[in-house]
Structure 1
Amino acid sequence: MRIPRIFTEQALAVGAELALEPGPSQHLARALRMGQGDALRLFDGSACEYQARIVAADKRQVVVTVLESIPGVAESPLRLHLGIGISRGERMDWVVQKATELGVAAISPLYTERTEVRLRGEREGRKQLHWRQVAISACEQCGRSVLPVVHEPAALAPWLQGADGERRFVLHHRATTAPRGTELPASINLLVGPEGGLSEAEIAAAEAAGFESLALGPRILRTETAPLAALAILQARWGDMGSLD
């Protein structure tokens, strides 16, 4: 049986005994049917993970003891910050999940001219927490020990002003260039629009903020496909994914 990886908000230390939160507890006890003596791995977002063992379990609570610290090994040397226009339905969940698997360090959901989803008040906060949980689940699956930061939804203009990546790219189908350069950047900001893409004014604003226009090829990609293709290319060129060169 594959040893499950579980995220906890509690700070972990070797020798500690702790009760896991209700969500992870119910997943382990009910879905996976794990109990006393079973092994698992825990991580708290601190770049390490820990071998642990269940010492008590019922359907509502699982208590574990932390046995050993193991350095995390799944973080990319390239710090990628994805700014993505908020899309409808499950598309945003898909992007958050797969971008996490592809190693992004941060995700910023953005309101743009063509964003059809407008969140307000408590709904905005609930969506941010939901997307963070999607990222947590993706980290548990893919082996990451550090959670990507999922920022609050924001307007495009202030996000552009705060972009501080060594390289910055805005993805749109009217661009003609692929990512170029041999010098290894430590950080990249990547901007992708929602359904319908970015407007010409938004692309111009991004370019004025130091973003390079980026194309991925002759085909127009859907909003949930484009950022993932771009992230894979950037990771292969400057990050930790294998290149075919």
Structure 2
Amino acid sequence: MRPHRAFSPGLTGVLPLRETRHLVEVLRARVGDRFTVFDGEREALAEVVDLGPPLRYRVLEERRPEREVGVEVVLYVALLKGDKLAEVVRAATELGATRIQPLVTRHSVPKEMGEGKLRRLRAVALEAAKQSGRVVVPEVLPPIPLKAVPQVAQGLVAHVGATARVREVLDPEKPLALAVGPEGGFAEEEVALLEARGFTPVSLGRRILRAETAALALLALCTAGEGR
């Protein structure tokens, strides 16, 4: 079996059925094969002891890899049309977000999210965490109105009219909240509300970016751009 990571809550020695099916039916796991398990906090090298279902394993060695950003990174992102939010969740997970909070804003075309889509986004976050080697699986929350965004210790909001650059205002050692609007951006009064909650408007360059591109550009500047 080729190297694989599987999500196993609590590292209990028993894999969820979905993970079992992937290892046994797709990767053709056999008793004695080794793979990696993680549970959102820890990671371990494991060995298959019974194919089940469900597959059972024993932990050989617990690990604490240094792959997380080191501070909380919350991404507030407006609801987007089609499957664009799934793209954002996938890449945001790879870039180190710890929580993803969809927003309902003035210019959002979708104004709600069904339970089915929320489950899918959470599955996307899990798969992206497995692929990128993360131990933490970002929490994807149900949408909230923009006015429900809380006060933050450090926040950045992508805004076309801003002049500040991320590197000029970012403190990489402090918890971070990032806000990105929908197609058409935040309304001026929404930017003002976010400023009152502790967000600093920042520029992402001279070009007009798609909403999903802006979210990932801002996140990448704050994590990958700092080598984190």
TM-score by length of 2: 0.91
Aligned residues: 227
Partner of 1:36: 31
Cα distance, 1:71 vs structure 2:
0.9
Q: Equivalents in 2 of 1:181, 1:195: separation in Å?
A: 25
Q: Is the 8 A contact 1:163 1:189 kept in 2?
A: no
Identity of aligned residues (%): 35
Q: Is the 8 A contact 1:167 1:185 kept in 2?
A: no
Q: Is the 8 A contact 1:128 1:153 kept in 2?
A: no
Letter in 1 for 2:211: T
Partner of 1:206: 194
User: Counterparts of 1:45-124 in structure 2 under 5 Å?
Assistant: 45-46=40-41, 48-57=42-51, 60-119=53-112, 123=114
Change in CA separation of 1:108 and 1:17 when aligned onto 2, cut-off 3 Å: closer
Q: Is the 8 A contact 1:77 1:240 kept in 2?
A: no
Cα RMSD of the aligned pairs, angstroms, is 1.9
Change in CA separation of 1:158 and 1:88 when aligned onto 2, cut-off 3 Å: same
Q: CA deviation digits over 1:2-23, x for unaligned, max 9?
A: 41011122x12xxx532x1111
5+ residue gaps, structure 2: none
**3-state SS, counterpart of residue 115 of structure 1:** coil
Letter in 1 for 2:142: E
5+ residue gaps, structure 1: none
Which runs of at least 4 in structure 1 moved beyond 3 Å after TM superposition?
181-185
Letter in 1 for 2:95: L
Q: CA deviation digits over 1:88-136, x for unaligned, max 9?
A: 222101100100100011110111111112336xx2x333222121111
User: Counterparts of 1:1-245 in structure 2 under 5 Å?
Assistant: 2-9=2-9, 11-12=10-11, 17-18=13-14, 20-46=15-41, 48-57=42-51, 60-119=53-112, 123=114, 125-159=115-149, 162-164=150-152, 166-179=153-166, 180-181=168-169, 184-236=172-224, 239-241=226-228
Q: Is the 8 A contact 2:95 2:224 kept in 1?
A: no
Letter in 2 for 1:156: L
